[in-house]
Each structure stands twice: as structure tokens, then as C-alpha cells.
Structure 1
Amino acid sequence: MDLFSFAVKGYRRFRAQTTLRTNGKLVALVGPNEAGKSSLLSALSGMNSNDSFEQSDHARGCVTEETELVALFLLTKAETALAHLPYPAWMRVRKNYEGDLSYGFRPMPPPRSTAHRKEAVEIANAVLHNKECMEALSWETPDLEELWTEAVAAITDKGPDLSKKALDLIAKVVTELAAVGEEPRERFLQIEAALQVWTEMSSLESAPSPIRHAITALFPSVPKFLFFDEEARNLSSSYAMSSLSKAVPKALESLLAVAGLDVAEMLSAIARDARDDLTTIERRANRTLERSFKEAWRQSGVTVALRLSTDLLEVQVVNEDDRYTRLAERSDGLRQFVALHAFASRAHAAEFILLIDEAEQRLHYDAQADLVQMLARQRLASKVIYTTHSAGCLPEDLGHGVRLIEPIAEEPACSRIVNKFWQRSASGFSPLLFGLGAATLAFFPTRRAVCVEGPSDMLLLPTMFREALKRDALGYQFVPGLSSAARTLAPTMPSQAANVCYLVDGDAAGEAIAGHLGAAAIPTSRIFLLVSANGQAVETEDFLNPGLLLDAANALIAKYSPNGRRLEVGDLSHEHRTKNLRGAFRAATGREMDKVELAYELLDALDERPDLKLLDDTRQDELSSLARRVEEALTASIR
């Protein structure tokens, strides 16, 4: 199951209900200092238990009983089948003001069927009103008539879930009927039929209700929230043995736990100068680490080893060719992964969501990019939610992977979550710069990037490229702003940036931008036009699934013009689809279609139905070819 959203109400700065959308593997929380980013992580971690809230957790001016946290998880097809639910379906985990957790679903499972009770009542009444039969039964089970009459009353016109008393009565009736001898059963066939019907009813009524079955089936799969704090992340290359007798740092403690190494035993061997014992401890620990890390790093032969001496404990990385290197000599991403694997293994969490506060802390720009790429590629955590103030620590999907936590202007002591802040009127990177708490910033990615025209392109193209290339991650960002910055070519677009390519629409406006880029001495090998071979697709949206595009446009029409005509397939031509869609939308609503809003509608549909395809099947191959050419240019630039 995948965390779909998290709603907060009455918690710290979040007085009014506000919801965090958590689509994608990486979710970066940005916003000014003291806006509530760390509080949101704390709220998420509170979903692990029934622990009550601290008094300080309740929002000021809010009634205590209003405090509520709700996590919504999108279930996989396998999970819905296991829980006997339709697909798609969501599991809701709610924490109330007292800290108690409760579980529900959307849509809710149907109530327990009561259809079988009618037959049970009918056959019971048939036997009870058969005087001759009851006389025969009274000799064998003198209490049956009274017991059965009471049981019939207990199940007649009752709700889907019977009381314990009713269930006990049904069980007693079954026991009494089963005790009837052969002679009455042979004379009165109704007795055997009643036994079968009431035995089946007892089984059905005693079984868990559909909602209880679903909760029991899925409860073990609910992910835990693990706080990967700085102490857990800060794994050094070496530690003085003398310092370990006082305290073992958290990150090292996790690694030693994975290795099965007993610190007291190790220090005892050192104190006794028992070097043979120390070597034995080292070899045992390294065998355990090798098994653990090879399982985590299935794609490579890299593992981790410890080197123990009387003075020093060293953490090393072992390559496929058995070459040992100090942990400090490896990339920041790999070092963080070692710490993450140790941390997760010690937590014994099969499914978990990682929480990181101030992910950029003590990392230079390149190290931040390395960390984020590691988090995107690792397969330990199903999702990573983290806070950052640094542009270098943003995820590769800038449009769909960043959330803004901002103070409310009218209530400065309160905050809200803005999931779709790219809808704001500011162009280029202004919304993101505000979210990072920066008044001005000449933002340019330290990672590989594709500069595109506007926010709608930045929102859609990462998902389009991933689908076209059949990838979970790309390894580069899409950066908006060409449509507004191409003429001036501000310092955000250096002509010699070797890690950047440019992708513009294939229409006249896009060709003009490409011309300005070329005039600014940007090599033509790094400028790409988004256009199909036949010239019929010249904008980002032209490459999209027409049915999905139509649904998204109609969702906007329903929002802004409820009585407006809904668009139909005939409104979308194969040639210049987006241009025709804009015209049809204008005719239906009297307003221009907002491409950013359209992009968000499309992404929302994919979030709710991951099995949907964003791309037009007839144009996927062409987009895939373009994506590969863009990647080749990006790769060639760093060789």
C-alpha cells in the first residue's frame, strides 16, 4: 500500500484541517522557518502507535476534541483482492484526539449479508409448528423449543452483526440439534435440514465481518513511519575504541546491531589483549554484514566490512573485486545508504516510510544531490518525506514532488499545506524560491537538467519520460522558465552549462525560443523540439492519452462552468490536439484553459489510478525516441 495523503487538524500550527498529498517516492517539504515542516513529520511519526498527544501538540485556540490525524493509503490490486474490496480502494488510518487509532476504507466494504437468516427462521418455524415433530424432539432435547424460539427472536430484524448472546444461542441450537438421535431424524427430515441450515448460519455469523476481515488482512501491511534523524545518518569511517566504552553513536550502534556484534564482548577482548578473540569477532560480524548488504544491494557485489584493532574500529566498503576502501572515500549517497540500511534493519520494519528533517544538514551542494539520488533509487523505504531549505536537495520531479508549508497571512500563528503551488501566477521558479524561504536566488541545478518552457511542462514531462522509458527514476530534473526567460537569458541559464539540455514545443513560439537559445551561444546539440515526425503533435499535451486529457478538461469545466457543455471525443482532433482543446474549452466556459490546472488534474487521475497510462499509445514510440536523444546529450555532456 502507498501513502496517498495525510490530513492534519488541530495539531500544533495546523489549526484548520489541511491535507498533504504524498504521491511519488520522494516528497520534499519546503517553507519558511517555523512554518511547521518539522511538526508535520512529528505528526506522521505519531501514526505508529496509540500514544496520546502531549498537551502542547493541540493547536492554540482549538478544542482538544478536534485534534485529528488521518492517513489514507492507496491499496494495490493484490491487497484489494486479499481484503475482498473493489479496485481502486483506500485504507484509512485515523488517530483521534485521545491518540486512539481506528481503521476504515474508501469505499467501505459491504455489510455482512443477512440473506441466510430468512431461510434459518423459516425452517425453524416449520419445525417448531410441527407438533408431532416437537413431541419427538422433547424426549431427546427438552430445552430445544424454548432455546430455539429465543434464538429465532434474537436473529429476526437485527442488524448485520449479531450480539454475542445471539451467537451463543445459535451455537446452542446447533449443539442441541446435533444431539438428536437417528430415529427422529429419519422420521422428520426437517430436523436434518434445520441442522444443516443453522450450522451454516453459525459459521457465517461467527466469521469476521467484511470490514473486520479487511482490517485483519491488511493491518500487517500498514507501513511504519521511521524518523531518520541526523544521529542515525551520521556514520563515520572510524571510531576510537576508547570512546565506545562511554557511548556508542546511534548510527554505529545500528550497524553493529546488523553485524550481530556485542560491544561489551569486543571491549572485553581488547582489555584482555585477546587479539585472537578480536579477530574472531571481526570475521563473524563481517560474514553477517556481507549477507545483509548483499540482500540489500542485489544489483551489485558491494558490501560493508568492519576492521577491528585495539585502538580503532573502521567501517569499510568492499567492492566486487574484494578491494577495501574507507567509507569516507565513497560517495555521500552510498554512505547514507549504509546508514539507512543499518537503521531500517535495526527497526525490524518490513514496510516503512522514511522521515528526514533538514535533509541537507552539513552536506555541500553536490552531496545533497547525491543523497537525493540515493533516496530515489533505494528500495528499502517505500516513500521518503523530508524537509529542506536547499535547492540542491530537491527531488528530480520538481513539479510533483515538492509541497509548500506556509503561514496563513490572516493568522500568522497558523499554517497550511499547499500541494499545488505551481498554480500561483508567478512565473519560472518564483513559487519554489518562496517555498525555500529565499527572497532571491539564481537557481540552477547542480544535477543534470532539462530546461522547459513552463510549469505545466515541468509537471507532466517527468512522468511522460518515465512512462516512455519504462523507468522509476530518471536521474535529472525538468526546470521551468524558458518561455519567460529565453529572451533575456538571465544568469540562470549559462550557455556553457554542460549538464543541461533545452526542450521546447515544436510550434512557432517554441521555435522562436530555440532561436533565442541558439543566439545566446547554446549549442544546437543541446536544444530539442517536442514535435512528432508528421508535425501533428507540437505541444506536451499533444502526446497524452486523449481519453485522459478529455476527462481532465471536463473536470475543469465542471469546476468553473457547471452548466457548460462537456467536451466529447469529437472535440479532440489528432492534429494539434491541444490547440483544438483550448478552443473547445473556451467555447464551453468562456475562459481560457489553464494548462497548469489541466496538468494537475491529469496527475491527480494517475495518483488515484496508477494503472492508467498518461501517454497516447500512437505517439509513445516517438516520445521514447526523443527522451533517449535528450538523455544521450545529457550523458555526453558529462563524459
Structure 2
Amino acid sequence: MRLQNIRLQGFRRFEEPTNINISNKLVSIVGTNEAGKTSILKAIEYMSGDHEIIHSDRTQLADTETKITMTFVVELGDEPDLNVKAGSKLHVTKKEDGERTYRAEPTPERDTRARVQLGRNILKCAKNRKLMKALTDASKEFDPNVLKEHANLLCTSIAKLDQDTFDEIQSFKSNLEKIDLEKYSDYISDIPAQIDSTREFETDHDPHQIAINALSDLVPQILFFSDEHKNINVPLDLSLLSHADPKIRQKLSRPLEPPRDCRRLQLLSRRSYYEQDHKQVFTGGSRTGDPHGAGAQTGLSIALGSGGVHFSEDRLLTADTA
């Protein structure tokens, strides 16, 4: 199974639904500053953990629900043991509260073998005049024609059975129990038990959920490389990058956003692009008694002079700071 598409909505700068197609084994993300490269990687990291999408990563001042969706494709040889073929897709969506939803495409067909066999046996019963007369005498509400109609549905329908069909076959079972079934063929006496097993199967059988359970086990693990992996050797022991690693698991489950410098304040911190994602721009200055601790952003004021901020060029113009 491989990742085919990432869809972002209401996430950081991606306010409107945006599809990012991944069609090759090696993908390079190229774009200008503030184009959203880091946002894409951040979205992938969110999908690797169970924590919610923090407020600062949701598109601000927008009436848009925040969602991240990753689409995986089943490749040849990866098909699980059910009605899922190569080329089928699994859509995994994470909402802002951390809830995940799954959708398989196309929806696998329902296993109808049990209901078809039951329908055929009921139609066979309907042809037994002696049995139909006994059932009619036992219950004035019994209607052989209605029974045939629902038996045909059992044989032909591939959708989930409606309640009317369940009620009719249950009524048929109750009527059978009112007569002496030993007088009839074995297949007739076996029908009550067959009705119970079919009803139980149809109630519990959800082909879509079964497919989701099987496909979710095939979703590849996403590995993250940090500075400490710059000098890795080949072959690489992937267990070193496993999410079972307590340090990585703690990082993925951390609810707070890692501190990072705002690009528009780089001239204030005098840091390069390579440092900005790992250090804070707010140091707290000489306010050692700040109750929020060193490096806290709370209560820190920055005043810009007449130069202002040039948003289109993503830099500070001549500005005085205080």
C-alpha cells in the first residue's frame, strides 16, 4: 500500500480544500517562502499521532472545518483476504479534535451466500402445498405471496436487508414452530436455525467496516528523520525510527506546537533560515522574574517603527524595535 494523495482543508494557509498528488516513489516539495512546504510535512506528522490539531495550526479567521486526509492505494500483492482488489483506496481523515474517520473506495460487496441459500430454501417451501396449507391454518395472517416476495429479495438483493424482510422471515419462523415439522423434509425442519444464523450474520456483517479493519493494517508507517540521522549508514535499522521509540512517541503525542521563529522577525533574532525552526525568537530579555519562565512569549511586547512589515516580500523594512 502506498500514499497517493494528501488533502488539506482549513489547515494553516490551506483554507480551501487542496489536493497534493503523490505519484512517484521520490517526491520533492519545492516552493517559495511561505508557500506551505512546512505545512505539508506538519500535516503528515499530525496523521502519525493521535493528538488534536492545535488551534494555531488551524486556518485563522476562516469559517472552515480543519481536516487532513491521506489517501492510500492497495498495490498488487497487498490485497487482504476479502473483496478488496488492487487499486482500491483507503481514505483516512483526521479532524481538528483528533478524531479519525475511514472510508474504503469502492465499498466491498456484501457476502450474500447465507441469505441466498435461505431464500432458495424458503422458495422451495413455498412450492410445498401441504406445508403452505398447514401454515395458513396455523395463522390467519400468513400470506404465502408475501413470503415469496421477501424470499426473492433474499436471493437477489446485494444491499443491506431492510427491517420488513427481517420481520417477515422471523414471522415465517414463528409459524413454522407452530406445526409439526417432523412430517416434512429435513431442509424444512432446518430452516428455523438457518433463519437465526442468517439474521445474526446480516446484523453483524458490515463489509465496509471489515475492509477498513483489514486495510488499516496495511497502512505504511511514516518515518521522520531529524538532525541526528544526518550520518546514517546503509542499510538503516528502521527500528531506530519506529514510533515505538519513547522519544519519538512523546514528540508525536505532544499537544503543544514546537516553538519556531516567525520569518518576519528574523532580522530581530539575526538567525538564518536553517535555525528558525528549532529556536524561539522571544528570549524574554532581562525579565528573569517572568512567572512564565525564560523564553515565555506571554506579556512580551514588540513595537515596530514607521517602516512596518512588507508582507509580500516576507521581510521587515527599516523598523525600530523596543
Using the size of structure 1 for normalisation, the TM-score is 0.31
Partner of 2:208: 211
Q: What does residue 342 of structure 1 align with?
A: 240
Q: Which residue of 2 aligns with 1:31?
A: 31
State how 1:607-622 maps to structure 2 within 5 Å.
Answer: none
Give the counterpart letter for 1:19 in structure 2: N
SS of equivalent to 1:191: helix
Say if 2:9 and 2:64, in contact at 8 Å, map to a contact too.
no
1:223 aligns with 2:122: no
The structural deviation recorded for 1:37 is 2.0
2:73 matched residue in structure 1: 74
Match of 2:285 in 1: none
Contact 1:64/1:97, CA 8 A, preserved across alignment: no
In the alignment, structure 1 residue 84 sits paired with structure 2 residue 83: yes
Residue pairs, 1:55-204, within 5 angstroms:
55-65=55-65, 67-80=66-79, 82-110=81-109, 113=112, 116=116, 119=120, 122=123, 130-133=132-135, 160-162=159-161, 184-187=181-184, 191-192=188-189, 194-195=191-192, 198=195, 201-202=198-199
2:74 and 2:85 in contact (8 A); partners too: no
User: Offset of 1:210 from its aligned partner?
Assistant: 2.8
Letter in 1 for 2:232: G
8 Å CA contact 1:119–1:197 kept in 2: the answer is: no
Q: CA deviation at 1:11?
A: 0.8
Q: How do 1:222-261 residues align onto structure 2 when only pairs under 5 Å count?
A: 222-230=219-227, 233=228
Matches within 5 A, 1:407-446: none
| Counterpart-to-counterpart distance in 2, 1:50 and 1:124 | 54
Partner deviation per Cα, 1:416-470 (whole Å, 9 max, x = no partner):
xxxxxxxxxxxxxxxxxxxxxxxxxxxxxxxxxxxxxxxxxxxxxxxxxxxxxxx
The alignment's C-alpha RMSD in Å is 4.9
CA distance in 1, matches of 2:312, 2:121: 64
Deviations 1:86-139 (A, max 9, x none): 33222222234554322223333235659737546645766898232465xx6x
- Residue range with higher mean Cα deviation, 56-65 or 189-198: 189-198
Amino acid at match of 1:161: K
The whole-number CA distance in structure 1 between the counterparts of 2:28 and 2:189 is 66
Distance in 2 (CA, whole Å) between partners of 1:153 and 1:227 is 56
CA contact (8 A) 1:10 1:59 kept: yes
Which amino acid in structure 2 is aligned with residue 107 of structure 1?
Answer: P
Change (3 A) 1:85 1:341: closer
Instruction: Find the residue that maps to 2:27 and give its secondary structure.
Output: strand
Matches of 1:119 and 1:412 in 2, distance apart?
A: 72
Say whether the 8 Å CA contact 2:10–2:58 is kept in structure 1. Answer: yes
Query: Structure 1 residues 131 and 213, CA, compared in 2 at 3 Å: closer, same or farther?
Result: same
Q: Is the 8 A contact 1:127 1:190 kept in 2?
A: no
What's the CA shift for 1:188? 5.7
CA contact (8 A) 1:112 1:209 kept: no
Read off the aligned partner of 2:241 and give its amino acid letter. Answer: F
2: CA distance between counterparts of 1:133 and 1:168? 17
Secondary structure of the residue that 2:107 maps to in structure 1?
A: coil
**1:474-527 per-position Cα deviation (integer Å, ceiling 9, x unaligned):** xxxxxxxxxxxxxxxxxxxxxxxxxxxxxxxxxxxxxxxxxxxxxxxxxxxxxx
Q: Does 1:46 align with 2:43?
A: no
The 2-side partners of 1:48 and 1:175 are apart by 52
Distance in 2, Cα, partners of 1:79 & 1:171: 41
Decide whether the 8 Å contact of 1:92 with 1:105 is kept in 2.
yes
| Bigger helix share | 1
- What is the CA-CA distance between 1:3 and the residue it aligns to? 0.8
TM-score relative to the length of structure 2? 0.55
What residue ranges of structure 2 are gaps of 5+ in the alignment? Answer: 247-272, 275-310, 314-322
Give, in angstroms, the shift of residue 165 of structure 1. Answer: 10
Change (3 A) 1:202 1:44: same
Q: C-alpha displacement at 1:170, in angstroms?
A: 6.1
1:23: Cα distance to partner?
3.6
Q: 1:346 to 1:47 in 2, by over 3 A?
A: closer
Q: What is the distance in 1 between the residues matched to 2:85 and 2:234? A: 43
CA, structure 1 residues 335+191, in 2 after alignment: closer, same or farther (shift >3 Å)? closer
Structure 1, gaps ≥5 residues long = 235-330, 349-387, 390-410, 414-639
Deviation for aligned residue 1:5: 1.5
Match of 2:261 in 1: none
How many angstroms apart in 1 are the aligned matches of 2:13 and 2:61? 11
CA contact (8 A) 2:67 2:94 kept: yes
Identity of aligned residues (%): 21
Q: How many Å apart are 1:13 and its aligned residue?
A: 0.9
How far does the alpha carbon of each residue in 1:575-630 deviate from its partner, in whole angstroms, 9 at most, with x for none? xxxxxxxxxxxxxxxxxxxxxxxxxxxxxxxxxxxxxxxxxxxxxxxxxxxxxxxx
Distance across 2 between alignment mates of 1:110 and 1:214 = 10
- How much does 1:77 deviate? 2.2
Alpha-carbon separation, structure 2, partners of 1:199 and 1:333: 60
> Structure 1 residues 124, 99: closer, same or farther in 2, change over 3 A?
farther
> What SS does the corresponding residue of 1:56 show, helix, strand or coil?
helix
Letter in 2 for 1:6: I
Tell me which protein shows more strand as a share of its residues: 1
